[in-house]
Structure 1
Amino acid sequence: MVFDEHELVMGCRRKDRVSQRRLYDAFAGRMLVVCLRYVKSRDEAEDILQESFIKVFDKIDTFRFECPLVAWIKRIVVNTTLNYLRDNRRYRFTEELDHVAEEVATTFSEELHWKDLLQLVQELPPGCRAVFNLYAIEGYQHQEIASMLGISEGTSKSQYSRAKSLLQRMLTNHRMTENGH
């Protein structure tokens, strides 16, 4: 969809319903995928998405065009999702590991579809899933993640390491299942 970002934001600031609908239609699909990376249930993800867009429209006056609109919206969606998880106690973090495991080099199969990968990420324990998404996908540093989630930097690193190890095992099992083993 081609649109003028500035014109769209200005329309939303005027509470123009057509502009709001265009903004929602332009970004809702991508943002639903973001929500689904953190929660297993599509219903939960849709609820979070709806709450996120309410916040987007409430805060649209604060958007200053200093970053792409999609990045600004995504940050609101991620923060809304984290607040949802925190409020609903959907993640717990294990004790910090004494030693963070070595980086796990994983080569993703060409045959592994993004929906399969999303499903594997959704199967991670909630704490691991949140840290994995924030670090590997959203690009936050462990110090930032620790601050966002109210955990130590070491816990963030250990949860990420655990998530990678679990994903590696799940990918191995996935490949073995595909090959009939």
Structure 2
Amino acid sequence: MTQEQLIIQCKRQDAQAQGALYQKYSGVLFAICLRYSPNYVEAQDNLQDAFLTIFKKVEQYSGKGSFEGWIKRVTVNTVLQKYRKKRHFDMVREDQIADEVIDEVEHIEIPLDDLLQMVRELPDQYRLVFSLYVLDGYSHKEIGEQLSISDGTSKSNLARARKILQKKVNNFKAAQQEG
């Protein structure tokens, strides 16, 4: 079945087509969910919510642009919506953080799994801004719109996330040198 046929069948709520769509894209979308979630279990929950949203909204996909790009955006928006509803984090406003300078970091090899774990350990507000900006290429303006914060607050949260990650990388480096 071609992707176009798969989409048509999903629009008709065909369970077999939905299963095929899940099989085809679950790995890619789970990687996105992992970037935005503090742990593996929550990432699994976010993936399930994302697919429910995709199946519910697939009728809205007009065929313009990449389908994979569309489902990735739906996934990110679904996860962000979940955080907005919970409101279990407070964004640090730009006036709450003094300008912080991030030290230059020398080149260091870090396994991808370790680096992603460091990102997952960031406080929610920093992890979301970092993931949106660095990993998914959103602008500070777009992040502000997604999270209902100012561009400056997005920049401040990104700076704080980078500072925390820098400390984690330095600790990783020190541990590598000791062992």
**TM-score of the pair, normalised by structure 1:** 0.89
RMSD (Å), alpha carbons:
2.0
Match of 2:178, SS state, is coil
State the match for 1:109 in structure 2: 108
Partners of 1:13 and 1:108 in 2: CA distance: 48
Q: 1:100·1:157 contact (CA, 8 Å) conserved in 2?
A: no
**Does residue 39 of structure 1 match 2:15?**
no
Further displaced range: 100-109 or 27-36: 100-109
State the match for 1:166 in structure 2: 164
Partners of 1:79 and 1:104 in 2: CA distance: 33
Q: Which runs of 5+ in 2 are unaligned?
A: none
Q: 2:39·2:120 contact (CA, 8 Å) conserved in 1?
A: no
Sort the Cα spacing of 1:108 and 1:34 in 2 relative to 1 into closer, same or farther, 3 A: farther
* Alignment deviations for residues 74-131 of structure 1 (CA, whole Å, 9 cap, x no partner): 1111111111112222322123146644576556634x22211110001111111110
Sort the Cα spacing of 1:127 and 1:26 in 2 relative to 1 into closer, same or farther, 3 A: same
Partners of 1:101 and 1:64 in 2: CA distance: 44
1:11-26 map, 5 Å: 11-26=9-24
Q: 1:132·1:163 contact (CA, 8 Å) conserved in 2?
A: yes
Partners of 1:120 and 1:39 in 2: CA distance: 12
Partners of 1:79 and 1:106 in 2: CA distance: 32
Instruction: Give the length in aligned residue pairs.
Output: 178
CA drift of 1:4 comes to 2.3
**TM-score of the pair, normalised by structure 2:** 0.90
* Alignment deviations for residues 7-54 of structure 1 (CA, whole Å, 9 cap, x no partner): 211121122222111110111122112112122232222112111111
Sort the Cα spacing of 1:5 and 1:116 in 2 relative to 1 into closer, same or farther, 3 A: same
